[in-house]
């Protein structure tokens, strides 16, 4: 069964937000942070939300609202309404969201603060780069650059991606970066012929 929630980093689909959050933590090293807030009423919550959006240059839109069935006996422990509020700035799906529960005397907010817009943009950029370089096998010259420079750029981008998404130690990352830098110098001098990874 294919889910409706896509990982912003790799596009894998999941059936629940909890599974995407687990995937983000395990595969991409991103822990989704959350906090609980309380407001005296909906007006103070909406004011806080507006200020937060303005300060952080974000936008959260109200989605579906759940209310108790009509005719049911009011229970003070049951919210009058539950509002699902989703971030709409960071790509197709972002773990940052709010669930506001409105009670008679207060509003309780569960707020997931972590955004993945950068991860989504990196994925899209990576896909565009892969498409660009997969077209390099054709007879059309790519970017008017010599083939070895094009291969070098692709190789360095691969190293940067691996460094960003792996659990290498700082010393391993430094060694790989220095190695990539040396390959680049050799290629520019014409001393290194094959830059295949």
- Cβ neighbour number for residue 191 with a 10 Å cutoff: 8
**What are the helix and strand counts (H, E) for the chain?**
5, 7
Sheet holding 81-87, edge to edge: 34-39, 107-112, 97-102, 81-87, 60-66
Contact 161, 123 (CB under 8 A): no
For β-strands 107-112 and 97-102, DSSP reports them as antiparallel
- Cβ neighbour number for residue 97 with a 10 Å cutoff: 20
- Residue 64 in 3-state DSSP? strand
pLDDT at 77: 78
Query: How many angstroms separate the CA atoms of 43 and 36, rounded?
Result: 18
pLDDT at 35: 95
pLDDT at 50: 94
- Cβ neighbour number for residue 76 with a 10 Å cutoff: 8
pLDDT at 191: 54
pLDDT at 168: 62
Type and span of the H or E element at 119: helix 117-134
pLDDT at 137: 53
Tens-digit pLDDT string for the chain (197 aa): 577 888 877 888 999 888 988 988 898 888 889 999 999 999 999 999 999 999 988 888 888 888 877 766 667 778 888 888 888 766 667 788 999 999 989 999 999 988 877 776 777 777 777 776 665 555 544 444 444 444 555 555 566 666 666 666 666 656 666 666 665 565 555 554 444 44
Query: How many angstroms separate the CA atoms of 97 and 160, rounded?
Result: 30
Query: Going by CATH, does the domain composed of 34-69+76-119 fall within 3.30.310?
Result: no
For β-strands 81-87 and 13-14, DSSP reports them as unpaired
Q: Give the domain ranges of the chain.
A: 34-69+76-119, 147-191
């Amino acid at each position: 069964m294919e889910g409706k929630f896509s990982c912003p980093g790799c596009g894998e689909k999941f059936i629940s937000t909890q599974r995407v959050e687990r995937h983000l933590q395990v595969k991409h090293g991103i822990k989704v942070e959350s906090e609980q807030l309380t407001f005296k009423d909906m007006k103070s919550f909406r004011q806080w939300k507006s200020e937060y959006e303005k300060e952080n240059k974000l936008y959260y839109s109200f989605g579906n609202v759940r209310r108790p069935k009509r005719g049911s006996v009011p229970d003070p422990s049951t919210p009058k309404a539950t509002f699902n509020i989703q971030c709409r700035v960071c790509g197709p799906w972002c773990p940052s969201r709010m669930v506001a529960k409105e009670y008679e005397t207060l509003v309780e907010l569960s707020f997931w603060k972590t955004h993945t817009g950068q991860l989504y943009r990196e994925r899209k950029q990576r896909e565009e780069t892969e498409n660009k370089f997969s077209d390099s096998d054709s007879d059309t010259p790519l970017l008017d650059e010599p083939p070895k420079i094009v291969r070098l750029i692709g190789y360095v981008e691969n190293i940067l991606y691996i460094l960003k998404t792996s659990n290498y130690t700082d010393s391993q990352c430094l060694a790989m970066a220095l190695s990539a830098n040396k390959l680049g110098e050799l290629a520019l001098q014409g001393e290194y012929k094959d830059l295949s990874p």
